[in-house]
Amino acid sequence: MNNILKRMWAVLVAGLFLCGFLQAQSSETITNNAVIKMVKANLADELIIDVIRTSPVDFDLSDRAVKSLTGEQVSGEVLEAMMIAGQTQTPGTQRVDPPSETTKPPKPETTVKPAVPAKQARTPQVVTALGYTAPLKLLVTFYEDEFKSMQSKVVDWDAKVRNSLMEAGRLNEEILQQEAALREKKNSDAKAFSKEILAMKKKLSELQANYKQLKEKMTADADKITKELSGISSDKAKAVGKSYDEVGQQVRSSDSNPGKGENAVPVTFTPLDIQDDLTVYLEPTAEMFYWHQNEMNDIRRIIEEWNPKISEIVKQDATLLKELEPIDKQLGEYKADPKKYKTEIATLKKQSAAIEKERKQLADQMENDSKELAGYLKETSANIQKALEERFADIIENINYTYREKLHI
């Protein structure tokens, strides 16, 4: 447990360093020395590479400089990012040797990172909903609207957290600078503290108090977020229940006459534009973004699963209708002389009645299928509401844990 806490403390310190570093470097050019400083601060390679990619750079990537960077424990991935960034600068603004086998940064031999799956292309796909499955289109719209509302709220929270982290980084940097200056001033004189030293101590105390207040504010913000998430959980569960009930009723009351055809309705499925690049404090909430997408995928699966049942019944009914056509035609001809064709008419009517009975059975089957789907939707709604409660409880627990560990509460 001590090792875990140490690692988490290292992550927080590194994050605060990065916030302070980014603020300090926002208008400056990233150099070899800046990269070395980030490496010595134990920042993750991913963070360093991101800074390199998004900042103006002036790297010395000569053979000698690369060897020096390697000696400072700069990884092969970071060196490669430096080379790529250096090559995209305006000619004459960087010192880069032509790529060769000797200057190419070494690839890490022991660390293999898993491939990051590409985000799903946001190409709309249209699925045709047949007959009583058409009302499910309303659930797609429901999930799209719920997703937009949820993500907008989380992104807003995340922006506030990022502002707090930037402020924490700035304060932490000031504290470190003030502590260093105060130590130097104390070490230069063995006499009683001078007014300058006392003023520096006062300034340090003020910075530390501000830092503590900021942590308390972040803790209070976390309480507000988790409280609001609890309310969202309850509201979303009710909304799910209401939406599924309404759709289930429409499915159950759909026209079950297969003679009217498939009554196809296009349903457009557009992959959600998920923004999951959140701070570590709110990362757990991204689960709900994917949850909405998965529920939409499930709606599509239901439509595609039930469509063939409808198509088959409509097809069988169409076949029976074709069988009825010559019978009805013959009956029409026989009705011109019903006495003469009394026996034939009776036979044909018997055949027609048998076919109509089969058609009635098909209509009954379609009605029963629609009721079955409505029942399935009701059961699904109950399962979704239960899953929502569990997911939100887990998200709230993870957020609280992250805040406690990161802020050492």
| pLDDT tens string 149-187 | 999 999 999 999 999 989 988 998 999 999 999 999 888
Query: Are 327 and 351 a contacting pair, CB within 8 Å?
Result: yes
pLDDT in tens, 282-338: 999 999 999 999 999 999 999 999 999 999 999 999 999 999 999 999 999 998 898
Comparison of pLDDT for 32 and 111, the residue scoring more: 32
Residue 126, phi then psi, degrees to nearest 5: -105, 130
For CA atoms 313, 316, 318, 323, give the dihedral sign. negative
pLDDT value at position 87? 63
Residue 61 CA to residue 66 CA, distance in Å, equals 6
pTM of the model: 0.66
Comparison of pLDDT for 380 and 21, the residue scoring more: 380
Neighbouring C-beta atoms of residue 64, cutoff 10 Å = 10
Task: Return the bridge partners of 129, or none.
Answer: 265
pLDDT value at position 20? 53
Q: Which residue has 């003030």 as its token pair?
A: 178
Residue 6 pLDDT more than 50?
A: no
The DSSP element (H or E) to which 38 belongs, if any, is helix 32-40
Query: Are 28 and 58 a contacting pair, CB within 8 Å?
Result: no
Comparison of pLDDT for 159 and 18, the residue scoring more: 159
Query: Are 276 and 289 a contacting pair, CB within 8 Å?
Result: yes
Contacts of 50 (CB under 8 A, 6+ apart): none
- Token representation of residue 63: 């053979």
Q: Determine the average pLDDT of the residues in 35-45.
A: 83
pLDDT value at position 263? 93
Give the burial string for 290-312 (b: 16+ CB within 10 Å, else e): ebbbebbeebbebbeebbebbee
Residue 70 CA to residue 108 CA, distance in Å, equals 12
Tell me what the pLDDT averaged over the chain comes to.
84
pLDDT in tens, 198-254: 999 999 999 999 999 998 999 999 999 999 999 999 999 999 999 999 999 999 999
Comparison of pLDDT for 1 and 380, the residue scoring more: 380
Q: How confident is the model at residue 8 (pLDDT cuts 50, 70, 90)?
A: very low
Residue 17 pLDDT more than 90?
A: no
Q: How confident is the model at residue 396 (pLDDT cuts 50, 70, 90)?
A: very high
Q: What percent of the chain has pLDDT over 90?
A: 61
Residue 133 CA to residue 173 CA, distance in Å, equals 60
Residue spans of the domains in the chain: they are 2-96, 135-310+368-407
Neighbouring C-beta atoms of residue 265, cutoff 10 Å = 16
pLDDT in tens, 78-114: 888 888 777 654 433 333 333 333 333 333 333 333 3
Residue 167 CA to residue 210 CA, distance in Å, equals 10
Query: Are 122 and 271 a contacting pair, CB within 8 Å?
Result: yes
Question: E strands, 6-162, where?
Answer: 60-61, 95-96, 125-129
Least confident window among 15-24, 146-155, 350-359, 369-378: 15-24
Neighbouring C-beta atoms of residue 68, cutoff 10 Å = 14
The DSSP element (H or E) to which 154 belongs, if any, is helix 137-187
Query: Are 298 and 240 a contacting pair, CB within 8 Å?
Result: no
Residue 27 pLDDT more than 50?
A: no
Residue 82 CA to residue 298 CA, distance in Å, equals 44
Instruction: Transcribe 295-333 into DSSP letters.
Output: HHHHHHHHHHHHHHHHHHHHHHHHHHHHHHHHHHHHHHH
Specify the 3-state DSSP secondary structure of 44.
coil
The DSSP element (H or E) to which 212 belongs, if any, is helix 195-252
Burial class (CB in 10 A: 0-12, 13-18, 19+), 383: exposed
